[in-house]
Structure 1
Amino acid sequence: MLSGIRLTCFALMAGLGISLAQAQETAPADPGLALPVINTAPLPKYDYDRLDYGMTIGIERTPKGRIWACWVGGGDNHDAFFVLNSSDDDGKSWSKPRVVIDPHDPALDDKRRTIVGNLWTDPLGRLWLFFDQSLTHFDGRNGNWYTRCDNPDSENPVWSTPVRIWHGCSLNKPMILSDGTWLLNVSLWDEGKINPKYKEKYRELDSLRMANVFASTDQGKTWVRRGGVRYPQPQFDEHHIIERKDGTLWMTARTANGMWESVSTDKGKTWSEPRKYLEHIGSRHFMRRLQSGRILMVRHGAVTEKTKFRSKLTAYLSEDEGKTWVGGLMLDERRGISYPDGFQAPDGTIYISYDHNRDFDGEILMARFTEKDILDGKFGGRKSKPKILISKPLGLDKLPAPSDVTN
């Protein structure tokens, strides 16, 4: 069995241009800092009939129209790993899993998982996959990594060797300021989420446990922490930043007491005292500036509602920089839906992905619609369509998570 594991590892490393000897020589003593492997030949181990869970990370469009989707397999816990697939026909059909990041190693004392990240296409047409790596569900430090694909529309996409940016994780896409600076949201979770085994291990990071903002002025070659906000009753932060038309930055974040906000007048270096913005169930929301200049918000329920369940996923528009919201397009009314992420295509069509019943159905779904649909409150556009299936695990209640399979 061990020889089989070594051969598998060698094959994966060879695909990255890394020899086994090199990997052993450079392997850090700290397993939380080990170089992740980007598995671009994940079948059959990670085929749909070997998956039993589905939690969405997000979707992104690349320059020639391919849509990439990323989701979590294994569970919303220390079994988690990333799976990616793609569509070349606007979401009508989807490939089998094409890329997997599964950092689990049965030789380790603790599980090592990947559970948070995002997909983003930069202005140069390069597809970034941000992802985290932690021992246990959260070891108090975590690690925020990226791999980049410079030919994402190719028949054979090539992913770069992963680079560790900092600690923490980035659930939502970067945004670009009017001066060209790229901003990346990085959350370093609070002490209450640290595994008891690691409670005292990274005390030097306690002052940075917040919704951090990192900046790059060289198109992602380097990232530097610029500032951050510590929200009361934090719940993974999951923050978004919008640059308002007056030049200020507006951050919204998830807390245990709804959606909160903070404002920066110096490009993210300092932030106002956070305050409550809107009622909301404890779950991810989505904010993005659209081509029209309006702001898109996707959330659960009515604008001022705190739903009892993760249900009624609805899209709204703001024409006054987030002061008020208009329209209301129900993307999915059912219970057990969550975690919207998306993009706007060059033709103005909006695409939002989300998950449905992670443990029992594990479906990753997509809605396609227009700004007019939001204002009209119904799917009326030529391409508009709700509840498009991206992926569904077929191993539900049948198989252990792939991270538990060692042969």
Structure 2
Amino acid sequence: MPQQIQLILRTVQSLTACAVVLFAGLFSGFGATVCAQTVNPVSVLGDTTMPPSDHVSQTFPYGITGKTPPALTKINDKEQKPYHKHRINLRLFQGCPQVEISEGGRLWATWFGSNVQAERAPYHNDQFSVISTSADDGKTWKEVFVFDPSELLGGGASDPMLWKDPEGKVRFIGLRNIDFKGQDEFASSAWEFTMLDAENEHTEWSAPRLLGNKNISVMKPLVFPDGTILRSMDDFKLVGKRDKVRIRFLKEAVDGSPIFVSEFPIDNDAVFAEQMPIIRKDGSLFTFYRAKEGQKSAESFDGGRTWKLGGYYPMQFSINTKCILKTLPSGRVLLVANDVQMKEDGGKRVYHYTDENGQQRELTKHKTARTRMTAYLSEDDGKTFSHKVLLCDDGQISYPSATLGKDGAIYIVYDQGRGTIGQHTIFLSKITEADILAGELVDGESFLNRIVSRPSDHGGGRREGDTI
């Protein structure tokens, strides 16, 4: 009964807030699209309360449900046999990297891959997530953990994430997918582990925490000054299904308890939304989200409870692919995205970019929206991005992630040719604001495209004749 009363109260609060914003919108010109509903977190995430430790679901291998906790597996430790099944010379597909840095300067990266196939949604069978680390500023890397749910009813991993919480602790999120034939609401589930010693390559970890049954692991959470966070969510199972609410945010208190879940108004142009908001100087929130013809924008003036959709951003970039936003200590806004535009010519798509002289240049070698990974800077809270530096245009380049070092360094990872012979590479670039302002590397410590991982350098990778 208390839970029912709480649900009713939350619903009334949501509707009241929605009505107030809608009423205000009549006078501000925002219109009804401002009214993105705030809903009960349980109705979106599922009931994330864990059963008692002696419950059958917690005593694997005797019982398996969507709430059976996953685990991280240590690899490449001196006590481990060298021929474990996750070794890099068996891998033929990988991509979607993330990067984070410890308080002491140790770099961490994660991505997902497979020994047998390319990405296979929705359950991602035979996929696992790799966690790798570097203690020498990205010169050398060592794979040290994997997140592999394959022993649990053939479960697979997708879209891992690393981020640093308000206390400076590095956290890992693994998305697990198990085909329960529609009988378990946590067939897809996001689990979060916290490093207990991020300076140690084989750190111990906290017990995993169940976050929910949505994709909540693609974009780093937004950390507010008071230590609360806003997590980006998307229901990837509904991508392509019209008139369905998919794009959401979860606001969490400092202790991790949910405060609210907010929803975007329906936008059938959105694909895998991959929204990543920033806090603007006036305290409002701004985000891009992935759409069919470029990036669309949205803004919130109440801490993420309600959102106004802004339509396509005037500058076309990252067409139907991921970009990231981050506010830098200077107050400038960093955007990392694919610097490619698209136009129709005679019924054909023409991919092009604008050079430093303002001239349009057609892509001739790599005719794709996923190339020319570029770092931009905005001086005006994301209204315009007037400075940029090209990071990589060597093939199909996508899915950036960034973190900030204490010395002003900006570390950025992205993938190249996930299943392409000789590629499937994870790259790392290190730049500064000065580099972006200059349009070229001017800082002596900066570098572009160090290899974090390339299986073909170790005897692995896709080979001629392989079909994946």
TM-score scaled by length of structure 1:
0.82
Residue type matched to 2:172 in 1? Answer: L
Amino acid in structure 2 at the alignment position of 1:270? T
Q: Which runs of 4+ in 1 moved over 3 A?
A: 24-28, 138-141, 206-209, 302-308
Is it true that 1:223 corresponds to 2:288 in the alignment? no
Deviates more, 1:286-295 or 1:156-165: 156-165
Tell me the residue number matched to 2:460: 395
Q: Deviations over 1:16-55 (max 9, x none)?
A: x99x996248734x4x443212112365221211222220
1:263–1:271 contact (8 Å) kept in structure 2: yes
Alignment partners' CA distance in 2, 1:22 and 1:165: 17
Task: Check whether the contact 1:260–1:275 (CA below 8 A) recurs between aligned residues.
Answer: yes
Larger radius of gyration: 2
Deviation at 1:180, TM superposition (A): 3.0
SS of the residue aligned with 2:437? helix
Equivalent residue for 2:95, pick from 55, 75, 79: 55
Shift in Å at residue 274 of structure 1?
4.5
Paired residue secondary structure (2:384) = coil
Which residue number in structure 2 is paired with residue 167 of structure 1?
A: 213
Report which stretch shifted further, 161-170 or 85-94: 161-170
Please state if 1:317 is matched with 2:377: yes
Q: Which residue of 2 aligns with 1:254?
A: 290
116-125 or 242-251, larger mean C-alpha shift? 116-125
- Tell me if structure 1 keeps the 8 A contact 2:189–2:210: yes
Match of 2:391 among 306, 323, 331: 331
Backbone CA RMSD of aligned residues:
3.0
- Mean alpha-carbon deviation: is it higher for 207-216 or for 56-65? 207-216
**1:344 alignment partner in structure 2:** 404
Structural mapping, 1:234-253, within 5 Å:
234-253=270-289
- Describe the superposition over 1:347-405 as per-residue Cα deviations: whole angstroms up to 9, x where unpaired: 10111000111102211001111111111111121111111000112422369x9xxxx
Structure 1 residues 272 and 40, CA, compared in 2 at 3 Å: closer, same or farther? same
Given that 1:55 and 1:76 are in contact with CA atoms closer than 8 Å, whether structure 2 keeps it comes out as no
Q: Per-residue displacement from partner, 1:110-164 (whole Å, max 9, x unpaired)?
A: x42211131011232211111211236x989622221111211125401122111
1:132 aligns with 2:171: no
**2:286 is matched by which residue type in structure 1?**
W
Distance in 2 (CA, whole Å) between partners of 1:292 and 1:228 is: 31
Counterparts of 1:241 and 1:192, CA distance in 2: 21
**Letter paired with 2:443:** G
| Structure 2 residue 132 is the aligned partner of structure 1 residue 85 | yes
Could you say if the C-alpha distance between residues 160 and 66 of structure 1 is closer, same or farther in structure 2, counting changes exceeding 3 Å? same
Pick the aligned partner of 2:323 from 268, 285, 299. 285
Kindly report which structure 2 residues correspond to 1:293-308, keeping only aligned pairs within 5 A, or say none.
293-301=331-339, 308=367
Any residues of structure 2 matched to 1:105-144 within 5 Å, and which? 105=151, 108=153, 111-135=154-178, 142-144=188-190
Scaled by the length of structure 2, the TM-score of the pair is 0.72
Please report how far the alpha carbon of residue 222 of structure 1 lies from its aligned counterpart in structure 2 after TM superposition: 2.4
- The verdict on how the C-alpha distance between 1:21 and 1:116 changes in structure 2, with shifts beyond 3 A counting, is closer
What does the per-residue CA deviation read over 1:96-120, in whole Å, with 9 as the maximum and x for residues that have no partner?
A: x211011113x73xx4221113101
- The Cα offsets for residues 271-308 of structure 1, whole Å up to 9 and x where unpaired, read as 11341124232111111011111000011116899655
* SS of alignment partner, residue 376 of structure 2: strand
Confirm or deny: 8 A CA contact 2:234 2:273 kept in the other structure.
Answer: yes
Tell which has more relative contact order, 1 or 2 (C-alpha 8 A, sep 6+): 1
Distance in 1 between residues matched to 2:372 and 2:243, nearest whole Å: 37
- Structure-2 separation of matches of 1:355 and 1:155: 23
Corresponding residue for residue 113 of structure 2 = 73
Letter of the 1:85 counterpart? S
Gapped regions of structure 2 (runs ≥ 5)? 1-52, 77-81, 344-350, 353-366
In 2, Cα distance between the equivalents of 1:388 and 1:68?
Answer: 14
SS in 2 for 1:234: coil
| 1:36 paired residue number | 70
User: What residue in structure 2 maps to residue 378 of structure 1?
Assistant: 440
Aligned residue for 1:100? 146
Alignment coverage as a number of residue pairs: 365
**C-alpha distance 117-24 of structure 1, shift in aligned 2 (>3 A):** closer
1:264–1:347 distance in 2 versus 1, CA, 3 Å = same
Conserved in 1, the CA contact under 8 Å of 2:60 and 2:68?
no
Q: Structure 1 residues 142-151 or 309-318, which shifts more?
A: 142-151
Q: 1:303 to 1:243 in 2, by over 3 A?
A: farther
Q: Following the alignment from structure 1 to structure 2, what is the Cα–Cα distance between the partners of residues 48 and 244? A: 42
Q: Percent identity?
A: 28
The amino acid of 2:128's aligned partner reads: F
Per the alignment, in what secondary structure is the counterpart of residue 383 of structure 1?
coil
CA shift in 2, pair 1:237/1:25, >3 Å:
same
Instruction: Report Cα offsets for 1:71-99 as digits up to 9, x if no partner.
Output: 1111322232100110001011111x211
Question: Which residue identity is paired with 1:149?
Answer: M
Q: Structure 1 57/208 Cα, relative in aligned 2: closer, same or farther at 3 Å?
A: farther
Structure 2 CA distance, aligned partners of 1:324 and 1:304?
19
Inter-partner Cα distance in structure 2 for 1:386 and 1:45 = 31
SS state of the match for residue 132, structure 1? strand
Shift of 1:345: 0.7
Pick one of 35, 46, 69 that aligns with 2:86: 46
Structure 1: which 5+ runs fail to align? 1-16, 195-205, 402-407
Which stretch has the larger CA shift, 360-369 or 147-156?
Answer: 147-156
| Cα distance change on mapping 1:320 and 1:21 into 2, 3 Å | closer
Map of 2:427 onto structure 1? 365
